A and B are shown apart, each in its own frame.
Chain A
């Protein structure tokens, strides 16, 4: 073969190789374009930060705002993982990422509304988003978590609005880029928002849902007396109680947190019945007005003991503090659920440009059932496991939990509402691996409710 013949071979070979980038460009720029573009760490979706609107608390105080081309967060770590961050280098996360489209400024208008704003007012700045958070309550909730890992969530009972979501550990958004390398590998996961996205075994706090479901389904009645011998056969193992409670009525069983009683109710409802009740309370739904909230996970285990264990909030059941607060709030409203919400409105120079539809009240339980569970919760704080949550002059309804988990010491829980007779706020407190809910979580609830109820 002569040299010139080989030149043709090499030329042909190289020209054919040029087809590879042609094919891949088609793939990346056309076929996979949308999928790639929608990835969360894509900072290209962020317009110029100096034009971006603010995030405000319910009174209009700024929680996130743009200053000289940067995002600043006046509350710092107090709103850390909830608001997330927005930087050119790291992209956006948390509410900042979810509300990106609402707060985006525009160099070039993309909608008729933006075009009008630009022409009529020379306005390029994005809208502000008003959140339901209460700045002072948020600070208080954050303070309560000092020295702990966990979350505090406060719901407004009449509206279903989230007043506070504190999560620890957190990060300081002002030094995020410098701290990034250590934050992302920190085993305590300071970037995760625990109040709405953290999923935990609910432990005994779940008994309020088991009780409500069993009463509503007619699987038990307020008068039924359970014989607690301190243990029971749960199917494939012996389930131990925290004490031998002897014969107990249903209400008393919640007051002393009797495992035998609620495991029995769990068995009567079955795994499917418990799943259905979680669904009734809306715990398995997406929450359009609480971006990034994690839906609860019902029992998946097929073990014979699953129903009994789930009745006392164990098995492989997982819920967020928000979900437990939602259940407490529904009981506080006499069995009526309102979808929790974190977004109040979108505004431009104080004028509303968007407001979510008013919450739709949905009856979940007969009023009598909700009141029965409420009475038992009030008694649990008055003289049962939740005594540390009591307030002077105001009746508190609540339930503690001590949730066993594979990551060490049990999680301490408290879920409740106050005042018991005319409820205003519902709370959920979770302390990771802190121990007993009655001794660790309930005292925080007392402080929190005191402040939340003071005018």
Chain B
């Protein structure tokens, strides 16, 4: 395939960025006496290249640009996480993140070598649904509460955020379920006897209720938006019913309006979004600090290790994009957005080349997941939407999301491997 030399070049570029960035970050942080970045850089380079070479061994070959694009995002994210660690008083942050990325690559490579076919997943759709719902309910009841939200399981020293896995399970379920019933849904909608599309409407209503339930019970605005965006996109992909999608969008707006008036925490979030400077030391603190970070970054940024991104609370997780925008400037931030667009485009391309309907729906669903998640998070940090607590794929600090995202990457790779063979590329 003609992408191979480009991909190899990209992997080399990623390595160069990582090494150069680590040297710059270490120099910029000299006053804070940071831990040496080189063991972590060595680990990352080893993991990147090992993953790359192993994925080349796998036959039939899959999409060769997925891994270079993901590792590029990982590298930029890691450099910021490493750089923020000493500034926020946990110098080992970079080392831990390097291990998570390495484990993520292990998950990726393992997923390539699982015997069998990804299509087998279709038969486990209800298992996916049950496991997903079970995990979600379990964390709501037995999870550890942090900052007033129960989103984590505490397993020894690590925090596991099941929702990261639940999202992928949900995409698998939806892809399989909608593929199986899409004709039935379409036909039931079109039936001339005037039978109302009750089941389809029920399905849409269920999706809507799930999203609202997450919002109300877990106070997780970002996840609610993400679930709803994902559900609507996949419903449209499989059935093509624009009218019902429009109806759902109207319902969603109505739901948002209701939530705004019913729930204080939603109003507070929206207020902090629209005018963070009304209460810059209280509710608007994080957003106003994020705006100052963006403003101080300017066009070309302060330079890695030279800015003050640690002033923004949660800079290493929810606001990692702002940290990049401050230190790498607008040019760096646009570059990151461009890489996300390339990754998403690549994933949609896999959907187009997939050999079967399930593969198309699954790949498109995963692409949609990455796109919505990036858009919602970035939108929240650049004042386009209320700030939400979800992670930026491949960049935010955190084990659960890193492992889940590499699992997603592995799934895409498997679909592409089958698709390209039958596509005759």
Within 8 Å of chain A (Cβ to Cβ): is B24? no
Count of chain A residues near B, Cβ 8 A: 38
* Chain A residues whose C-beta falls within 8 Å of the C-beta of B293 in the assembled complex: 44
Q: How far is the CB of B296 from chain A (nearest CB, A)?
A: 5
Within 8 Å of chain B (Cβ to Cβ): is A357? no
* Chain B residues whose C-beta falls within 8 Å of the C-beta of A29 in the assembled complex: 294-295, 297-299, 325, 329-330, 333
Within 8 Å of chain A (Cβ to Cβ): is B159? no
Pick the interface stretch among B72-80, B148-156, B371-379: B371-379
Partner of B296, one of A14, A17, A44: A44
CA distance A394 to B303 in the complex (A): 65
Count of chain B residues near A, Cβ 8 A: 49
A6 contacts B277, CB within 8 Å? no
* Chain A residues whose C-beta falls within 8 Å of the C-beta of B138 in the assembled complex: none
1/0 per residue B92-134: CB within 8 Å of A? Answer: 0000000000000000000000000000000000000000000
B357 contacts A21, CB within 8 Å? no
Partner of A33, one of B277, B298, B371: B298
B325 contacts A44, CB within 8 Å? no
Within 8 Å of chain B (Cβ to Cβ): is A178? no
* Chain A residues whose C-beta falls within 8 Å of the C-beta of B236 in the assembled complex: 6, 10
A7 contacts B378, CB within 8 Å? no
Within 8 Å of chain B (Cβ to Cβ): is A303? no
Pick the interface stretch among A34-42, A207-215, A328-336: A34-42
Residues of chain B whose beta carbon lies under 8 Å from any beta carbon of chain A: 31, 233, 236-238, 240, 277, 280-281, 288, 291-299, 306, 308, 311, 325, 329-330, 333-334, 337, 340-341, 344-345, 348, 351-352, 357, 360-361, 364, 367-368, 371-372, 375, 378-379, 382-384
CA distance A1 to B238 in the complex (A): 10
Residues of chain A whose beta carbon lies under 8 Å from any beta carbon of chain B: 1, 3-4, 6-8, 10-11, 14-15, 17-18, 20-22, 24-26, 28-30, 32-34, 36-37, 39, 41-44, 88-90, 107-108, 180, 184
A1 contacts B341, CB within 8 Å? no
The B contact surface, by secondary structure, is helix
Q: How far is the CB of B122 from chain A (nearest CB, A)?
A: 15
* Chain A residues whose C-beta falls within 8 Å of the C-beta of B306 in the assembled complex: 108
Residue of B nearest to A9 (CB): B236
B238 contacts A3, CB within 8 Å? yes
Known: A24-B384, A25-B294. A41 touches B281 (CB 8 A): yes
CA distance A10 to B364 in the complex (A): 9
CA distance A8 to B311 in the complex (A): 41
* Chain A residues whose C-beta falls within 8 Å of the C-beta of B337 in the assembled complex: 18, 21-22, 25
Task: Give me 15 A-to-B residue pairs in the complex whose CB atoms sit less than 8 angstroms apart, sorted by A's number.
Answer: A7-B237, A10-B364, A11-B367, A21-B337, A22-B334, A28-B295, A29-B325, A33-B295, A39-B288, A41-B280, A44-B293, A44-B311, A88-B311, A90-B281, A180-B281
CA distance A42 to B293 in the complex (A): 9
B288 contacts A28, CB within 8 Å? no
Known: A39-B277, A39-B292. A21 touches B298 (CB 8 A): no
B384 contacts A6, CB within 8 Å? no
Q: How far is the CB of A145 from chain B (nearest CB, A)?
A: 28
Return the 5 tightest CB-CB contacts between A and B, nearest first.
A36-B295, A11-B348, A29-B330, A14-B371, A37-B295
B375 contacts A21, CB within 8 Å? yes
